Every structure is written in structure tokens, then in C-alpha cells.
């Protein structure tokens, strides 16, 4: 079953070959998450004032406020996978005292109320609120990628299946352990891929760029120059589009201030032209480059299995009553960050599974993870990349994180 389409302004080919039997085997071993397909979800902007609603929502924030007559009321912020929903609840018959302990402890609630509108802003006045204690699919409560998770899963494993050992073994060992979290995790809180499934989508995106540079084009340096040329054209189109539009309708310029940086990284990459490029090492490093975000971010439905794997003797009681809601920084994970965690997970997987790997390969993969942000001021853990693979992983990460902001279907 050949798969063939394009990426990055229809420039980068997406090409791989996989049999129907192999695809079925992949999806059985690494199933994509269950999506709420076919179900309708509450969109407050589509509701008329006075409409009665009965919905299951994720609580993001709440506070007790006072009216102009010094009467208490609750102001609440909920979400589902359509976005944010503002709400209020009056202190009728001691409702605030009754519900505050529940709001502090739980995050998923079944609410009943009426849609209100004030100065064009719609909200819900809650008449009844009840804790939902049953297991809930996070994809019904948080935004998620609108691209096919089944196709992204198939593509990821098609690329990983091309690897030779020990890289293939290192890659599959991680996903066998962490697939349930990896397939669901966001890649960011705000800037790019900031939704469920974002990490999977971003990882596949990097692999598309990397395969184009290392495999699909005859020369990695020429391939990188061609990609920069695409960026230059896209930036020109952004500038012209903004020039033609009225000031109020101008769009953000995704590629502003990027071109000089990309050429600077290309120059660094060229210094290693005499060193053979290890494409398998690069693809494996891409898989691990953001895997530390399984620990760095917190969100409804996230497990703490990666913490338990890294720290098997740790007392995990602090996580048992964790109140999980929208995508936030994990209070533990933020102390370390996804880049060091990526190296920790890589070395722990190799050690635990007793995978024999050349010591220089371990260091080169670790270096790719540590330098993928490119510059220390952008979060890189080394001053600058020191290998061909190190430069490429930064370039493709830089391109994919920005290109995502141009996609109409995220």
C-alpha cells in the first residue's frame, strides 16, 4: 500500500510503502486513541439566549466574586473540545459553600443551566452542577488535532520500521512503554501543536523533513537550501498578503526573522560535510527529541507512567490526587524540562532493555536531543550543534514548529 502526498506548501514528498497486513498489525499493536467521531459537542456561540443546556465540561478555573450589592457568586471557566465556556452560579440556598470543596477537588462536571448573553458575550448561568466521577475520554474535553491520528500512527511506524538495529530497537522500546501517553500528548502549551495528538503530529512532521533532507534528495545541503527557498517564498507571500489587506485584517508573519537564522544553521551544518550522515540515528533522535514532554506538561487524562519508569523507587503519592484540567506545565516536570528528560528516557530505555549501542551513538543521540532548540537563549542545553545530525534536527524542528501555524487543518 504505497502512501504518497506532500507537506510544507506541497514541496516535501510524503512517501512510504506499507502493506495492508503490516498496517493492520501496527494499528493493533499501537492503536490510535478513540475519538468522539459522530458526536455533537456544545458550542456556546451557536446557542440562542435562553436556551437550556445540559453538558459535561472540564473545569479550568473558578473564583468567588461579589456583585455590586455585595452578594457572592461563582465565576467559572470551563472547556470542551470546541473551546472555552464562561459560566456563573448564584449563591442560592448556600450553593457556593456546598460546591466550593467539589470545585477544588474535581475537574469534570455535569452542568445544567441557561445560556445568557451580555454585550455580545455568551455564558451559562448554572442551575445545577454535579461531579462526574466516571472515566472520561480526554478527547471530548480538550481540543485535538483534526488530522487523522490513524494515518499519523501508520506513517510514524512505517518510518521507524525502516530503521536498522539498534536504532529500531531503541525506538520501538520507547513506544511500547509510552504509546498510550505519546499518542495523546500535546507538543506545547501555546505556540505550536498545542492540542491532544500534537506530539505525534509534530514528531511525524520532523521525520518528513528529515527524510527529505537525508534520503529523498541526493544532497542534504542542496535539500536544505531548497527548503529555505520555500521559506523565502512563503515570507514574501505573507508580506504581500498583509500589504494588500486592510490594516485590521493583517495576519501574523510566521516566517519573519527566520531566513538569516536558517542560513546560519546551514553554514554550521556544512562544516561537517566530511562526516558521514547517520539517518537512522537522526530519525531515532527525532522520536526522542520531545518525548520528555510526556513529563513536562500536564492535562486531563495524562498518566504518570514515565515518572514511575524514570524513578522506580520514588514515592509517587503526590501525584495521586493531582487535579488535571487543560494543558498546563506539570509542577514536577517544569523543574527539569523536556530536553533533559529526553536524554534521561533515552538512556533509561537503553539500559532497561539491555540494548547494545556504541557509546558514540548514545552520545550523538543525546546531543541531538540537547541541541534541537538550536541556541541556548531558545532553550538548547549546549552552546551550538556539534554534528551534522545536530544541525539537521534543529532545522527541521524550527521549520515544523512554524509551519504548523500556517496549516488550515491542524
pLDDT in tens, 343-363: 999 999 999 999 999 999 999
3-state secondary structure at position 110: strand
pLDDT beneath 50: ranges in the chain: 1-2
* Percent over 70 (pLDDT), the chain: 97
Residues paired with 187 in a beta bridge: none
Q: What is the DSSP string of 256-312?
A: TT-HHHHHHHHHHHHTTTTSPP-HHHHHHHHHHHTTTHHHHEE-TT---HHHHHH-T
Instruction: Give 161-173 pLDDT, tens digit per residue.
Output: 999 999 999 999 9
Quote the cell numbers at residue 29: 499493536
- Within 81-120, strands assigned E span 83-90, 108-118
Give pTM, 2 decimals: 0.89
In sequence order, the β-bridge partners of residue 62 are 76
Distances (CA, A) of 330 to 192, 319, 324, 327, 334: 18, 10, 10, 9, 6
Rounded to an integer, what distance in angstroms lies between the CA atom of residue 36 and that of residue 323?
A: 23
Grid coordinates 530503521 are at which residue?
A: 163
- pLDDT score recorded for residue 39: 62
- Are 163 and 280 within 8 A, CB to CB? yes
At residue 3, the pLDDT reads 57
Q: Distance between CA 92 and CA 34 in Å, rounded?
A: 39
- Residue 176 DSSP SS3: helix
Examine residue 365 and say whether the peptide bond preceding it is cis (omega within 30 degrees of 0).
no
Closest CA to 121 of 166, 157, 87: 87
Q: Are the C-beta atoms of 24 and 31 separated by less than 8 Å? A: no
* 3-state SS, residue 123: strand
Amino acid at each position: 500500500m504505497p502512501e504518497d502526498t506532500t507537506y510544507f506548501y506541497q514541496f516535501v514528498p510524503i512517501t512510504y510503502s506499507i502493506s495492508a497486513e503490516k498496517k493492520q498489525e501496527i494499528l493493533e499493536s499501537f492503536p490510535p486513541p478513540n475519538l468522539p467521531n459522530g458526536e455533537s459537542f456544545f458550542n456556546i456561540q451557536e446557542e440562542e439566549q435562553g436556551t437550556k443546556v445540559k453538558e459535561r465540561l472540564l473545569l479550568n478555573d473558578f473564583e468567588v466574586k461579589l456583585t455590586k450589592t455585595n452578594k457572592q457568586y461563582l465565576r467559572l471557566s470551563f472547556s470542551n473540545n470546541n473551546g472555552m465556556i464562561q459560566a456563573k452560579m448564584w449563591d442560592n440556598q448556600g450553593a457556593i459553600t456546598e460546591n466550593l470543596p467539589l470545585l477544588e477537588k474535581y475537574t469534570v462536571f455535569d452542568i445544567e443551566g441557561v445560556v445568557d448573553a451580555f454585550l455580545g458575550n455568551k455564558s451559562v448561568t448554572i442551575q445545577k452542577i454535579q461531579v462526574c466521577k466516571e472515566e472520561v475520554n480526554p478527547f471530548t474535553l480538550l481540543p485535538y488535532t483534526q488530522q487523522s491520528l490513524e494515518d499519523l500512527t501508520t506513517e510514524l511506524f512505517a518510518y521507524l520500521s525502516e530503521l536498522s538495529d539498534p536504532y529500531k530497537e531503541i525506538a520501538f522500546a520507547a513506544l511500547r512503554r509510552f504509546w498510550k501517553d505519546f499518542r495523546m500528548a500535546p507538543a506545547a502549551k501555546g505556540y505550536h501543536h498545542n492540542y491532544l495528538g500534537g506530539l505525534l503530529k509534530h514528531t511525524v512532521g520532523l521525520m518528513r523533513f528529515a527524510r527529505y533532507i537525508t534520503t529523498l534528495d541526493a544532497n542534504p545541503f542542496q535539500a536544505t537550501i531548497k527548503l529555505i527557498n520555500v521559506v523565502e517564498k512563503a515570507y514574501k507571500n505573507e508580506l504581500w498578503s498583509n500589504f494588500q489587506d486592510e490594516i485590521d485584517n493583517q495576519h501574523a508573519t510566521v516566517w519573519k526573522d527566520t531566513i538569516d537564522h536558517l542560513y546560519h544553521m546551514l553554514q554550521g551544518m556544512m562544516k561537517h560535510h566530511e562526516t558521514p550522515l547517520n539517518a537512522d540515528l537522526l530519525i531515532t533522535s527525532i522520536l526522542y527529541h520531545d518525548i520528555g514532554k510526556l513529563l513536562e506538561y500536564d492535562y486531563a487524562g495524562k498518566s504518570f507512567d514515565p515518572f514511575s519508569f524514570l524513578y522506580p523507587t520514588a514515592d509517587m503519592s503526590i501525584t495521586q490526587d493531582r487535579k488535571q484540567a487543560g494543558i498546563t506545565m506539570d509542577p514536577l516536570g517544569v523543574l527539569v524540562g523536556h530536553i533533559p528528560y529526553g536524554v534521561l528516557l533515552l538512556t533509561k530505555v537503553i539500559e532497561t532493555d539491555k540494548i547494545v549501542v556504541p557509546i558514540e551513538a548514545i552520545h550523538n543521540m543525546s546531543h541531538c536531543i540537547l541541541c534541537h532548540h538550536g541556541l541556548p537563549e531558545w532553550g538548547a542545553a549546549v552552546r551550538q550543534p556539534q554534528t551534522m545530525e545536530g544541525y539537521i534536527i534543529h532545522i527541521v524542528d524550527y521549520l515544523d514548529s512554524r509551519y504548523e501555524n500556517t496549516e488550515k487543518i491542524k
